Amino acid sequence: MSIRIDVIPNQYGTKAVLLRKTWCEGRRVRHKTVANLTGLDPAVVDGFRAVLRGGVVLDDPRKAFAIRRSLPHGHVAAVLGTMNGLGLRRVLGRKAERMRDLAFAAVAARIIDPASKLATARALDPETASTSLGSLLGLGPVTGNETLDMLDWLLKRQPWIERSLANRHLKDGTLILHDVSSSCLEGSKCTLAAFGHSRDGKRGKVQIVYGLLCAADGCPVAVEVFPGNASDPSTVSSQVDKVRKRFGIGRVALVGDRGMLTTARIREDLAPAGLDWISALKTADIRKLLQEGPDGAPAPLVPEALVPDAVAEVTGPDFPGERLMVCLNPRLRQERRRKREDLLKATEEALHGIAASVRSGRLKGREAIDRRVGRDVNRRKVGKHFEVDVADGSIAWRRREDRIAAEARLDGVYVIRTSLGPEAMGTEAAVDAYKSLAGVERAFRNAKTDLRIRPVHGCSADHVKAHVFMCMLALHVEWHMRRRLAPMLFEDDDREGARARRSSPVEKAEVSESAKAKADTKLTPDGLPVHSFRTLLDDLGTLTLNDASLPGRPDSLFRIATEPTELQARAFGLLGVDPDAYISVTG
């Protein structure tokens, strides 16, 4: 015998909903109507059907199932979906193995919630998980020692991984952006740790230096770690070898700032390797262009003849075979003159203070006065513009107007230099290429803020190198995510429109109309709130993955994710990610 609900058409053209009992008598099937449910709400009828299928009737919807555990999931799905779309798992290694899975998880964790290796291991372990990452990847128990072993494995794979990324983003005839930065390091046992020029303001701490190679669009593809006292030019030769030998790229132009691609490095490293380059002249080299030729030929550069916000191409006898693009930025000129005058006035105030001390008798003797002058006058780096006369009981000074005028003559003037011919790159394109180094600076800033590459904790030089390389891989993934999510972020999603607002690469960089509208209204064109990359990840993290069970049946575990909000659905759509794609219903 069975009891079920039947829907039967009747003579009035409507349908009757009947609760019926059915049984067999010999070869005949008998039906008996137990109740007529036609007048009931359809939801109530569905409830009857659920009960007949073995369901449970609850007087409180909160008793429908018990949530055993909830883990932040949305940001994990967004990062994993992007990494899988990029094929990063196969880039890390073609062979499925434990170390590859741990490296894949560690790169994702660096984007989601950057932490130490031990904290990352605890976040991936099922017992102490803080997100759904470890569960979705099926890692099982994870220990801190395993993450250190993973760093060793990753460092050995670095050449192959970087070559795979270079094959995707670097082609013959392309530009490669190179710049260096530094990060402080905790501890004193690492052989790479050394005192040097701190590029992030962390004075008094040992540090490491690392050089980043990016494609022309700013996408990071390779990184190398150097001792903390390495100078910028000393990093060039290894990058040249990497481009030519490891990447196998024959024709390429390396873009670097004037402190890195010096004349010596161009002559000793780039020229023998046959690499083209784009850089800039230092101030001392620009002054050579102001000098007349030995036969009375006019000087190659006359600053007074330059047109503001325009590019002029010149040549100079001191730079044979090079194209020199001279630019005059009037805004930079005004700012430098304002700043110089402020520094000169501040230095004069210091000199007036010294003179007051001399007159009052608090400062006596020529040697004492000289020491005070030496300490205070050049504190703001403008002591060269003053002539100071010190006697036993007096002090006098005056500005060196000739030196000030000579320095002011070059205010706002900078010169881009390149070995590329005009057929390979135009004048304004060369200036644009040099300014694209801002993309590398942006990558460094993201690495130090969003990915927290610093401070570096590690005793082993290999572990420090692997840590920096892992951060570079996370930076690579984040770069792709930022590009796709740009319509929702405080970033320019119309780069071509922004370029079109400038008539010259010397002019001030402008943002597109869409970016300006987002900044003004704090809303996207869809009316959704605009986020930074980090706050958007935090918002996605509010979408949780829940382990639940039926009432009275704790063994009936199943998984269910919360429904995405409109903003979250928009983010997943831009990334091309399905947040439910990695969820197994039964866990």
Q: For residue range 479-533, list pLDDT tens digits in order.
A: 999 999 999 999 999 988 888 888 899 998 888 999 999 999 999 999 999 999 9
Q: In this structure, are strands 553-561 and 174-186 parallel, antiparallel, or unpaired?
A: unpaired
Asked if 135 and 126 touch (Cβ cutoff 8 Å), the reply is yes
Q: What is the pLDDT of residue 586?
A: 45
**pLDDT over 70 at 106, yes or no:** yes
- pTM for this prediction: 0.85
Q: For residue range 219-249, list pLDDT tens digits in order.
A: 999 999 999 999 989 899 888 888 888 888 7
Q: For residue range 322-374, list pLDDT tens digits in order.
A: 999 999 999 999 999 999 999 999 999 999 999 999 999 899 888 999 999 99
Q: What is the pLDDT of residue 587?
A: 45
Percent of the chain whose predicted confidence (pLDDT) is above 90: 62
The Cβ-side half-sphere exposure at 210, using a 13 Å CA radius, reads 33
The span from the CA of 308 to the CA of 37, in Å, is 86
Cβ neighbours around 162 below 10 Å, total? 22
| pLDDT band (50, 70, 90) for residue 75 | very high
Q: Taking residues 153-170, report their average pLDDT.
A: 94
Q: For residue range 366-420, list pLDDT tens digits in order.
A: 899 999 999 999 899 999 999 999 988 889 999 999 999 999 999 999 999 999 9
**pLDDT over 90 at 570, yes or no:** yes
The span from the CA of 77 to the CA of 584, in Å, is 13
The span from the CA of 356 to the CA of 496, in Å, is 59
Q: What is the pLDDT of residue 55?
A: 67
Q: For residue range 279-311, list pLDDT tens digits in order.
A: 999 999 999 999 887 777 888 999 999 999 999
Asked if 211 and 180 touch (Cβ cutoff 8 Å), the reply is yes
| Structure tokens belonging to residue 392 | 């036993």
| pLDDT band (50, 70, 90) for residue 52 | confident
